[in-house]
């Protein structure tokens, strides 16, 4: 017979945390704000899914978006975490110098080779090798890297013995590698070997909702690092941060905040403390676009700024076709593209007298179009 007085066993259901919550601390330090950005949450969830495998990963994105931090996250979430993570910048070395860093050399391989040197492939054996700016690698070096990846073996410069190696490759570039393949500047076979898993990291201007949180995260970090008094940003400063295009992305934001920690006067960091470039380009009625941006990217940024302006002014009801016409006009059809509106702009009316038009070959969560004939 069951004894009702006996203590009942308590069953605790362990909640499974989403991948973005189990990322290493250095990734969350890209702001604890990173996971507050819908676009970055998707990136980090993908990182958590692919990290346990040994597949090669290609990271793309503009300079300063945090590609190396994402690469380290992949390593720390993988079974290789107990071994070395080795990073090398391919743009800083050329020709045989890069080959020497990658594969090492034997004693006497060349005039100044007084001793044997291990290359990064050998140092990263069992771990992860991060090839930053891989698009800058010369064609001869590309062929040797491809062979090392396919055969999992290589020879040091000046050596004859083949060395076995087990390395996971994470490559990064801020260039269009597919275009480099088309112009024969990058080997097509190496491109497909590296691009097993492709992760694109969006620029900071496409995740503006995270900028104030990231700025405050960096403010706390650098205040502790430099042992300065704790300050806070005024609301106009955070608004200027959100309006600025940040061509240098997260790296530029970090540098600006660190500079403000050391140079600002008073208990609050106000507009007078900001660099002139941010004050000038963040004017509400002015849009400045970084050099090198494509026409499609420029259009997306202009539309985003329009949306921000109307959202702050609470003028959605007056958001009409005439306002759309100031953005883009294609013959008799007026189209207004809204980027990632669902998570970032919940107060946008789903319909505003215009017919909803879907874009071909574009994920629904990224684009939808208000158009009128």
Beta bridge partners of 86: 129
**Are 155 and 80 contained in the same domain?**
yes
Q: Which residues contact 359 (CB under 8 A, 6 or more apart)?
A: 337, 367, 368, 369
SS3 content of the chain, % helix, strand, coil (to 5): 45, 15, 40
CA–CA distance, 100 with 95 (Å, rounded to integer): 9
**Structure token pair of residue 246:** 């940040």
Last residue of a domain, one of 200, 225, 249: 200
**Are 195 and 211 contained in the same domain?**
no
**pLDDT tens track for 122-174:** 999 999 999 999 999 998 999 999 999 999 998 888 888 889 999 999 999 99
Q: Where are the beta strands (DSSP E) in the chain?
A: 57-60, 85-89, 104-105, 117-118, 128-132, 153-154, 163-164, 168-173, 197-200, 232-233, 268-269, 329-330, 333-339, 355-357, 367-372
**Are 117 and 219 contained in the same domain?**
no
323 burial level (CB within 10 Å; 0-12, 13-18, 19+): middle
**Are 78 and 169 contained in the same domain?**
yes
Q: Tens place of pLDDT for every residue, the chain, 373 residues?
A: 444 444 444 444 444 444 444 444 444 444 334 456 778 888 888 999 999 999 999 999 999 998 999 999 999 999 999 999 999 999 988 888 899 899 988 887 787 778 888 989 999 999 999 999 999 999 899 999 999 999 999 888 888 888 999 999 999 999 999 999 999 999 999 999 999 999 999 998 888 888 898 899 899 999 999 999 888 999 989 988 988 889 899 999 999 999 999 999 888 999 899 998 887 654 545 566 767 777 777 777 777 766 665 555 444 434 433 444 344 443 223 334 443 333 344 444 443 333 333 333 334 333 333 333 2
Q: Judge whether 157 lies within some domain.
A: yes
Q: Which structural domain, as residue segments, surrounds residue 213?
A: 205-281
Q: Judge whether 1 lies within some domain.
A: no
């Amino acid at each position: 017979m069951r004894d009702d007085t006996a203590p009942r066993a308590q069953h605790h259901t362990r909640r499974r945390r989403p991948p973005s919550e189990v990322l290493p601390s250095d990734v969350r330090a890209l702001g604890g704000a990173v996971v507050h950005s819908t676009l970055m949450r998707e990136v980090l969830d993908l990182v958590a899914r692919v990290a346990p495998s040994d597949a090669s990963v290609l990271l793309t994105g503009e300079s300063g978006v945090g590609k190396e931090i994402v690469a380290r996250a992949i390593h720390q979430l993988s079974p290789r975490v107990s071994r070395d993570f080795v990073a090398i910048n391919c743009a800083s070395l050329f020709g045989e110098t890069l080959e020497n860093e990658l594969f090492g050399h034997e004693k006497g391989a060349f005039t100044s080779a007084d001793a044997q040197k291990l290359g990064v492939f050998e140092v990263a054996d069992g771990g992860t090798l991060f090839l930053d700016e891989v698009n800058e690698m010369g064609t001869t070096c590309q062929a040797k890297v491809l062979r090392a990846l396919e055969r999992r073996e290589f020879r040091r410069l000046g050596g004859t013995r083949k060395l076995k190696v087990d390395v996971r490759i994470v490559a990064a570039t801020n260039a269009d590698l597919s275009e480099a393949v088309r112009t024969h500047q990058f080997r097509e076979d190496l491109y497909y070997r590296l691009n097993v898993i492709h992760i694109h990291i969006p620029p900071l201007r496409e995740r503006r909702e995270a900028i104030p949180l990231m700025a405050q995260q960096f403010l706390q970090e650098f205040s502790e690092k430099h042992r300065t008094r704790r300050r806070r940003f005024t609301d106009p400063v955070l608004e200027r941060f959100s309006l600025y295009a940040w061509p240098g992305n997260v790296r530029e934001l970090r540098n600006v905040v660190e500079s403000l920690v050391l140079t600002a006067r008073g208990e609050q960091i106000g507009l007078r403390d900001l660099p002139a470039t941010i004050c000038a380009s963040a004017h509400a009625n002015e849009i400045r676009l970084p050099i090198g941006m494509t026409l499609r990217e420029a259009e997306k940024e202009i539309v985003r700024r329009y949306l921000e302006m109307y959202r702050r002014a609470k003028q959605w009801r007056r958001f009409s076709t005439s306002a759309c016409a100031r953005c883009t006009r294609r013959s008799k059809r007026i189209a207004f593209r809204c980027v990632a509106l669902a998570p970032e702009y919940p107060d946008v009316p789903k319909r505003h007298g215009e017919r909803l038009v879907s874009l071909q070959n574009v994920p629904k969560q990224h684009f939808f179009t208000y158009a009128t004939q």
